[in-house]
Structure 1
């Protein structure tokens, strides 16, 4: 089934041109990784937050300071969890919680527990690592490590203040601080590693897309150059030669018609179907009619033979066949005098078609044709290649055979 040209054009428009890749397209993997990190943080923080909330509710009682501290810490935490789940405002919510929690932890002894009250670890200590992961989501890398290092020491200081710096608290507090410090640094390192991998993937994708876009642009430019060269040779140059050689009324009318067609095709070079006409299906019989018309315009006589089944092929392929065959006929008339000119059109139903043009002229050496001669390279080979067709030329001293073919993929 042939692809819809409008769908192809819409899909092609989604590929960014070189040097104009959008940031959203560039950071696809990075954004996906941020979403994954936010989801994982939401799950882990939700579990720790639930434990801290249960401990806080069961131990708070009616103390106004404890209730206020509970609200100050858990309201930003809930906002952060919601932001991580929905994927919006994650950096803002996480940064707010990291700052609020650090301040609340530092103020804990003076606002809640007096100095020297060595109770069991209160609920706020359960959220130390949550404050670290919040910093990991919100802050740049250097500030993340600052948070991962400083927050455990703030916790240790608060714990020692609660125990009035007694010797019994130093060992357990040092153990807790070292464990929290190592875990926080590991969390930050893992976040940095995952983000670095995602950034590497995005960078590789950006380079690949830019390389592909550059190659596509170069291919399109080469295709346009070949098509323009063929147009200039087939229409413009042919019209100029016809005008120069026009002597009789019929020759002048032919030159005027050729010039009009050349100007029309030049004006339509930017159209989507420029050069090759529409893509409506065309039968083999119509190709034979076009070839007979070309012979009439060239003033040449030839045997036109048609074989095989009658089928339909895409209009652009048919147009390319006709134009390439016209060029071959023009070469035969110009260089071989049209001697022994014979045209064979072999149809294979809807599967394909072959057009063979032979003459009995002196022939020529294909390898000796200059690079600036576009009659064969652009008007025959490049034109047939542009519609996924084939073109072969066998030229010897006894004559030249040009075989043009197109097969349905």
Structure 2
């Protein structure tokens, strides 16, 4: 049943439009797309801030020392790799994580590589412009806890190294405090946005997965019920028909027919897992439907003649519909033989052109029964007649009383075949 359940689940997902990427990440449809949207937004945003930092790194007034160019290369090479990975959609988490770590290392080294420079309180160094780039890199690369840690610690670390570089001069406290506050606020907004979108996406995926699982359960239950009804109807139709034919067989010819029916019943049981309507669906005339019913009844050992009243313009009946009507009518005949001893058994077929309709009526004059009190497990009527005709878009009406039973099977077509 595990393989069957899996196939039903895959079929359920197949009813929802998906791309190849979503199919590979079954159950994470929205989350996958949110992650891609985040990387697409991070890439261009980091490119803009990185360009601003690069201009500042080689612009006038920046604190420079012998380690300036190597430090710029150490910081910007991982940044370029992160931007390319985010836009490309591959290895974004890896390179974003590398840049976030490298940036923190660069901050720690900042006071040492800028020894001898004279910082200006009103001018931020180029490395300041990359604080929130490092923060948003953690949104791509790290879990939420590390994102929060980076968002708080990185600006504070910048403030600490900036004050160390300036010798804790009083003129630096206010501008550094403002820079740190701004970086923490902006970084917090970015983290919250990323968490919000991911949470919404996760909830959507969870709801979607539950809906598909419910669909799969319902589809599996429906398939099981259809199979149960089909097998029960098959047993009832074929086996009962074979038994009736065997019971009534009095001549070698009738015994041969009974053996043939038994062989057919066994074959149908062996092929029960196949489509019940396999074969041609070529439309047939209403007259052919009546002929098939007469022939099938004869094989059961019941000789009857179908009374026909067929308009020449009666629409042709699709093959699967014709087969359903014949089998359902045959079951009604079998019921009449079994329960009413074929008293007053009569079958008539009417075909009307307007509206396009085919109606089969099976009557007997037996003692009748209470239609409303038919047990649920009695599939002779529920499965072999009602369910079978309903499955092809037809209607069934059963009237029964002391004067006899009448089973009416009707199918209408909107088009003319």
TM-score by length of 1: 0.89
Identify which of 148, 155, 160 aligns with 1:157.
160
CA distance in 2, matches of 1:225, 1:11: 17
User: What does 1:324-403 correspond to in 2, within 5 Å?
Assistant: 324-336=328-340, 337-339=342-344, 341-348=346-353, 352-403=357-408
The Cα shift of 1:179 comes to 1.8
CA distance in 1, matches of 2:267, 2:353: 33
Q: Deviations over 1:272-297 (max 9, x none)?
A: x2366543333323212101212323
The Cα shift of 1:54 comes to 1.6
Residues 361, 408 of structure 2: 8 Å contact kept: yes
The Cα shift of 1:315 comes to 2.1
CA distance in 2, matches of 1:347, 1:16: 44
Residues 393, 402 of structure 1: 8 Å contact kept: yes
- Would the alpha carbon gap of residues 307 and 80 (structure 1) be closer, same or farther in structure 2, given more than 3 Å must change? same
CA distance in 2, matches of 1:243, 1:22: 55
Correspondence 1:30 to 2:31: yes
The Cα shift of 1:142 comes to 0.6
Correspondence 1:137 to 2:140: yes
CA distance in 2, matches of 1:49, 1:342: 88
Of 295-304 and 93-102, more deviation after overlay is shown by 295-304
**Could you say which residue in structure 2 is the equivalent of 1:171?**
174
CA distance in 2, matches of 1:52, 1:128: 10
The Cα shift of 1:268 comes to 1.3
Residues 357, 413 of structure 2: 8 Å contact kept: yes
The Cα shift of 1:368 comes to 3.2
TM-score by length of 2: 0.87
Residues 363, 395 of structure 1: 8 Å contact kept: yes
CA distance in 1, matches of 2:401, 2:290: 26
CA distance in 2, matches of 1:398, 1:200: 63
Of 101-110 and 290-299, more deviation after overlay is shown by 290-299
Residues 345, 354 of structure 1: 8 Å contact kept: yes
**Could you say which residue in structure 1 is the equivalent of 2:19?**
none
Of 398-407 and 286-295, more deviation after overlay is shown by 398-407
Q: Deviations over 1:358-391 (max 9, x none)?
A: 3343332212333333211111012122223221
Structure 1: unaligned runs, 5 residues or longer: 1-9
Q: Deviations over 1:48-78 (max 9, x none)?
A: 1111112223347996522212211111111
User: What does 1:176-195 correspond to in 2, within 5 Å?
Assistant: 176-195=179-198
Total equivalences in the alignment:
395
Structure 2: unaligned runs, 5 residues or longer: 1-6, 15-21
Identify which of 320, 323, 329 aligns with 2:327.
323
